[in-house]
Chains A and B, each alone.
Chain A
Amino acid sequence: MRVMAQMGMVMNLDKCIGCHTCSVTCKQAWTNRAGTEYVWFNNVETRPGQGYPRRYEDQEKWRGGWELNGRGRLKLRTGSRLKRLLTIFSSPVQPKLEDYYEPWTYDYQTLIDAPLGDDFPVARPKSLITGEDTKITWSANWDDDLGGASEMGHLDPVVEKVRRESEDAIKFQFEQTFMFYLPRICEHCLNPSCMASCPSGAIYKREEDGIVLVDQDRCRGWRQCITGCPYKKIYFNHRTGKAEKCTLCYPRLEVGLPTVCSETCVGRLRYLGLFLYDADKVTEAASTPDEQDLYEAQLDLMLDPDDPEVIRAAREQDIPDDWMDAARRSPVYALAKKYRVALPLHPEYRTMPMVWYIPPLSPIVDLLRDQGHDAESAGTLFGAIEALRIPVEYLAELFTAGDTDLVTGVLRKLAAMRAYLRDITLDRERDESIPASVGMSGATMYEMYRLLAIAKYEERYVIPTAHYERAHELEELGCSLDFDGGPYEIGESGPFGEASGRPAPVAVETYQALRDRQTAGEAASSESLRGRVNLLNWDGNGAPTGLFPPRGEPDAPADEPAGDAPGGRR
C-alpha cells in the first residue's frame, strides 16, 4: 500500500444558482492575460447544454481519456505512443478556437472619441484574436439557462445518448424540462490522461497533494494534452505556445486558503479537503472492465484515515500528522465515502477524477411543487425519483456511466434528508424509518445535514498547510538559491539597471501575507521582512513598523494601528 494524499473538491449542485462568480473571479486571478482570453479554468455550464468547449463530452469525436484494449488493459483513446508521436505535426482532433469561442472586446474608445454627430456612437465588438470587427456568435456560456435549447438542445452529447438508449425522448418543452448548473474545474485526476499524452513529460502530479500542474519551462507546445483530457480542461495559450490549466490555486492552498472559486462561491456549495488513496492500485481500479463499476472501484481507492493500518502506511510515506488530522476531518471524504452522496463526473473516462458532485434533487422538488404536491414528504419524493426517469437517466450519464440505481440511491438519500429534517425543524416526532429506508442512521443523517446545510468556512475547507519551511525561508529572506542557474538576489536590480536579470519569483510570502490579512484583526505582520514593509501587502491599516523611518524616540510604538482596524476582518 502506498498512501498518498490528494486534495479534492465536492460541489453540491443543489446549491448552485449559476451566478458565474467562481468563473469570473478565477478568470481575474489566473487567465486575464493575452493568449488566454478564451480560457476559463472554471466554467459553469447549464445542463442540458453543450458545455464548453462545445460538445466536449463527445469522445467519439474528441478522443479524450482512456479506454480498455482487447486484453483489458488501459490505453489512451488517441492510440499508442508511437501513433501520437507520428501525428505530432498536426494534432488530429484538437478543438479549434470556434469550438471554444472567439474572444472579443468592445471598441469603447469610440464612445469618447467619436466626432459630434446626429447618431450616438456605438462600441462595436472587436475580436481579440484578429483585432477586426466581429460578430459575437458564441461564448463560454452562450446556452446559459437553456438559452436556445429548443433549437440546440439535441446537440448535448448526453441528451443524444439518453435518447438513443431510452424510448422516451428528452423533451425540450420548458414546462416539462429540467435544468441545473454544472461548475467545472480541472478534475486533478488520479490517472490523468493529459499527463499520459504529454510527449515532453511537462505535466506532473504533485506528490504532496496530488495537484496536477504544467511545468511551463518543460512544455514545448505539442498540444497532445488538449486532446488527451476528456474534460477539455487543458488550454493552449496561443501567445506563449504553452499549455495551461487550473492549478487548484496551489499557492493559496499551500498557506491554507481555499481556492478562489471556493472562496468566492456565493452558494457556498464547494467543499475542499483531503483524500488518502492507495497509489499502487490506481491503474488496476481504472482498468475495471465494466464502466458502471468504475465508481465503486474509485471509491475503494479512498482510504479510511482512521484505519490503523492506513495510519501506519501513511507514516511510512512521511505524510505529516497534521495532514492525517486534516484527512480525518475532510468534508470531501465524508461526502464521497462516508455518506456516499458525491459522485465523480464521467467515471467512464477512466481518469479517476477528484472533483466530485452531489447530484441535484432540486429539478425533482421543483417539479413536484409546481404540480401542487408536497415536495418535502419522503413518500412523494421517493415516488417522484422513481417516476421521473429522464432527469435520473441524464444524471446517470453524467455521474455513474449510466447506472441509474446509483443516482436514484443518492437522490433518495437527499430526499430522505429533507423529509427527516422537516420533522425536526417543525418539532415533530422524528421518523427514524426515513433514514433507515436509505440505509442510514438518524444521527448520521443529521451529521450529513449539518455538513450540507450549515457547515461553516472551517468545516467546508479543511486545508492543511504545506510543509515547506525550508523553501519558504529561502524564498522569503532572499538568500541565494541553489539551482542550476546559480544564486541570485531577490529584490535587487540586475547588472543592466532596474528589473534586469532574473525577476523575483512569485513569493510564498505574498500568499502568507494575504492569509494573515484575511484572518488577523490587525495590520499584516512585517516581521519576516526585517523591518521593511512590503507595500503590495499593506492593506492601509495603520502604519506598520518600517513604513516610515524611525522618529527621534525609538521606543514609540509605531505598529499601533491608527484607529479601529475593521479592514483586516472578514
Chain B
Amino acid sequence: MSVLLWGILPYVMVAVFVGGLIWRYRYDQFGWTTRSSQLYESRLLRIGSPLFHFGILVVVIGHVVGLFIPQEWTAAVGVTEDLYHLLALGLGTVAGIATLVGVGILVYRRRTTGPVFMATTKNDKTMYVVLVAAIIAGLATTVISVFGPHEEVTYRDTVSPWFRSLFILQPDIQAMSEASFAFQLHTVVGMLLFLIWPFTRLVHAFTAPVHYLFRPYIIYRSRDGRPSASRGIRRGWTAVGTPDRTSDRRVPGPGPNAVPGPGNPGAGARRKDRTGGGTR
C-alpha cells in the first residue's frame, strides 16, 4: 500500500499531469480559458475570487518553501525551529483560511446564483470537491500541528524528504509512511487534484499572463503569418437555446437553427456541434 501511494502514484500523477497539460495545450487552445462567470454575478465574486486566488498563491509559496528547503538550510541561515514554525504556521493559517473562505464564497455563489449554477458542468463540480477537500485537509494539517498533541517528527522530517527524494527517482517511502494521517490524506488528495488538473478549468493557472508586463501595448500580426482558420479547432458554437441550456424543459432539439456560424478567427466555422460537458 505504501509503495503504491508513495512510490507509484506520484509518478503516475506527474505523467498524467505533464502529459495532460501538453496534450490539452496542443489540442484544446479554444477550451483553455478561465470561463469567468463575472458577467452573471460580480458582487460575491469581487470578495471571493481575490480572497481565494491571493490566498492560494501564498499557500503555493508556502508549499514550495516547506517542501523544497531542507531543515539544515534554514538552520544554517540562523532561523530557529520555533521561529520557522511560527512563521510557517502563522502565514499558512492566515492564507489557508483566506483560501477556504474564498472558495466557500465562490461555491456558495455558484450554487445559489441561478445563471452561475447553470453554467457549472459536472467537470467543475468534481473539481470543486477535490479542490475543497485538498484545502480542508491541508488546513487540518496546519491546525493539528498547532493545537494537536506535540509530535517529535514534523513534516520537515517526513513529507519533505520524501518529496525531494521523488526527484532523484529514489522515493523515500519509509519517511512518508511515518507521517501523520492528516499529512498522508492531504498528500493523496493533492495528488488527485493534480491528476485531474489538466482536464479541468484549473489549467488557466498555467497561462497566467506574466508576460503582459513586458510586451508592447499594440500588437500587429500579419494575416499570412498564421493561417487564421486552420489552427486546430476543437469546439463548436452552439445555437441559442440548446438542450444543455434548457436542461429540464421541453427541448425541440437543435433543429435547423443549429447551423454553426462562423466566429472570430481561430474559431472559424465548425461542421459539428462539439461542445461536450466541460473539458474533453
Contacts and interface: CB of A to CB of B under 8 A. Distances in A.
Interface stretch (A28-36, A287-295, A378-386, A407-415): A28-36
A219 interface: yes
A353 interface: no
B264 A244 contact: yes
A89 B54 contact: yes
Interface in A14-50: 29-30, 32-35, 37
A499 B54 CA distance: 43
B34 A222 contact: yes
A483 B230 contact: yes
B219 A219 contact: no
B232 interface: yes
Interface stretch (A90-98, A114-122, A427-435, A551-559): A90-98
A503 B39 contact: no
Contact of B261 (A29, A195, A204, A502): A29
B236 to A, nearest CB: 8
A90 B49 contact: yes
B268 interface: yes
A203 interface: yes
B129 to A, nearest CB: 21
A475 interface: yes
A220 B204 contact: yes
Interface in B243-267: 245-247, 249-250, 252, 257, 261-267
A30 B269 CA distance: 11
Contacts of B150: none
Contacts of B239: 32-34
Given A217-B267, A244-B264, A128 B245 contact: yes
Contacts of A481: 227, 230
Contacts of B114: 129-130, 132
A221 B209 CA distance: 11
A101 interface: no
Contacts of B45: 90
B40 A82 contact: no
Contacts of A204: 219-221
B34 A195 contact: no
Contacts of B271: 499, 503-504
Interface string B264-280: 11111111101100000
Contact of A33 (B212, B232, B238): B238
A90 B220 contact: no
A69 interface: no
Given A238-B37, A247-B265, A505 B233 contact: yes
B207 to A, nearest CB: 5
Interface residues of B, number: 79
A554 to B, nearest CB: 34
A206 interface: yes
B218 A214 contact: no
B217 interface: yes
A58 interface: no
A481 B250 CA distance: 43
A184 interface: no
Interface in B180-236: 204, 207, 209-213, 215, 217-224, 226-233, 235-236
Given A203-B219, A483-B230, A503-B233, A216 B38 contact: no
A474 B229 CA distance: 12
A214 B267 CA distance: 10
Nearest to B275: A239
A240 B241 CA distance: 15
B245 A217 contact: no
A191 interface: yes
B267 A483 contact: no
Given A32-B239, A505-B230, A94 B34 contact: no
A475 B268 CA distance: 13
Contacts of B52: 89
A351 to B, nearest CB: 11
A257 B267 CA distance: 21
Contacts of B207: 200, 220
A464 interface: no
A205 B216 CA distance: 13
A207 B228 CA distance: 14
Nearest to A92: B46
A420 B126 CA distance: 74
Given A30-B261, A90-B45, A223-B36, A205 B220 contact: yes
Interface string A193-234: 001101111011111100001111111111100000000000
A131 B232 CA distance: 33
8 contacts: A82-B213, A129-B114, A191-B218, A206-B220, A239-B238, A239-B275, A244-B264, A475-B229
Task: Rank and list the top 3 A-B pairs by shortest CB-CB distance, nearest first.
Answer: A506-B268, A199-B209, A505-B229
Interface of A: 29-30, 32-35, 37, 81-82, 84-85, 87-92, 94, 96-97, 105, 109, 113, 128-132, 191-192, 195-196, 198-201, 203-208, 213-223, 236, 238-242, 244-245, 247, 250-251, 282, 466, 468, 470-471, 474-475, 481, 483-485, 499, 502-507, 510
Interface of B: 26-27, 29-30, 32-42, 45-46, 49-50, 52-54, 114-115, 118-119, 204, 207, 209-213, 215, 217-224, 226-233, 235-242, 245-247, 249-250, 252, 257, 261-272, 274-275
